[in-house]
Amino acid sequence: MNDGRPGARRIDAGDGLVGRITSRATGRNAPNVQIAIKKSDGTTFGTSTTDTTGEFLAFAPPGDYTVTVNGVGYEPVTAAVTVRPDNQTRVDVALRQAAVRVGTGHSVPGPQSQATANDLVLSNSMMAMAVSAGSEDPQLSGVTLGKPLDIAAVGHLDQLDWMNLPYASTAQPRGTNAWQQLTVRSTGFEVLSADGPAASARFTGASTQVPDIAVATTFTIRQDEPWVSAETIFTNNGAVPRTFWLGDVLDHDGAGQRSGVAGHGTITASAPADFTLAQPWIGMTGSDAQTYGLLYDEPGFTAYATGIWVMSQRKVTIEPGATFALRRRIAAVDNGGAADPFAVLATL
């Protein structure tokens, strides 16, 4: 009801915004698209999300607003709208498929999203991933730069807490806090290519534990691939061999979170355990029919996992002047609600 006008009113016929969001390419409804409503002074008034039919409903008192429509796999759209008393303002938008891009000014929509407009987002028509270009996560204090913070597949919202990608530890990570690897710190980055056919950015730094080990990670996204390729080069700039443990940590924070290990199915235990990998991948999922995966180019990794996080582990020795390349794909895909939500990773 409006102030000063008591009484029952139909909730679908009052002040506010309604609309349907679709794909311009296919005409299909676009679920899980975020609608952000800002007042004329630039402050956010509220947000809404489209349902499975692509429709949204957002209440707002009469006035002028800016509406931004943002969905994974699509180019964002911003429009000026006016809400009039006792009338709904309809905002129907057909979204264009997203181009291959890496840059700032975008965001990955979702309840767990934490990256800011100053962080880098790699996106195409199938997925989007935000990497810290300066934002800090308290669990990754001092080492958040260069770490993925948000990720989602088209038709889905971000459910990620973060990926601690990569780490480089003098000791094999053990225990319930094994995920807490503050062992690779990036100190700078550059965008190598801002748009297609391949867009990429490189983050450079070093291990905080292993002397003389420089670390450079390059993220690359291409059209029609539901993943971001991530290549990390560890370089021994010292005069003696260096032996250490390396890998990545995946932490899903959405509803129904659970881990997956190739050959071992779904992991829900609260205590971490070691697993051999039947195939070189680890993953996490939740109740939203979306699966995240880290798919390694080469075997040789083991997994250490609980229900709420999963990590890869590998012991390496790098001779003076030599390098070790850690190559993997960071995937976000719809699992179709399958009984085995990780089976889709074996097909990528």
Q: In what order do the strands lie in the sheet with 213-222?
A: 184-193, 198-207, 213-222, 227-236, 323-334, 290-296, 281-285, 258-261, 265-267
Average pLDDT (305-319) is: 98
Q: For 93-110, how does the pLDDT look when each residue is reduced to its tens digit (9 = 90+)?
A: 999 999 999 999 999 999
CA distance 198 to 313: 29
Q: Which residues contact 119 (CB under 8 A, 6 or more apart)?
A: 104, 130, 131, 132, 133, 134, 135, 149
CA distance 243 to 171: 9
CA distance 120 to 115: 8
Asked whether the beta carbons of 231 and 295 are under 8 A apart, the reply is: no
Average pLDDT (252-275) is: 96
**Considering only CA atoms, which of 45, 95, 46 is closest in space to residue 70?**
95
Angle of CA points 306, 310, 315, to nearest 5°: 115
- Cα dihedral value 156, 160, 165, 168, nearest 10: -160
pLDDT at 3: 53
3-state SS of 189-220 is: EEEEECECCEEEEEEEEEECCCCCEEEEEEEE
What mean pLDDT is reported for the chain?
Answer: 94
CA distance 12 to 202: 48
Q: pLDDT category, 44, cuts 50, 70, 90?
A: confident
pTM of the model: 0.93
Q: For 57-70, how does the pLDDT look when each residue is reduced to its tens digit (9 = 90+)?
A: 998 889 999 999 99
Q: pLDDT category, 258, cuts 50, 70, 90?
A: very high
CA distance 85 to 14: 8
Q: Which residues contact 83 (CB under 8 A, 6 or more apart)?
A: 15, 16, 17, 60, 61, 62, 63, 64, 65, 89
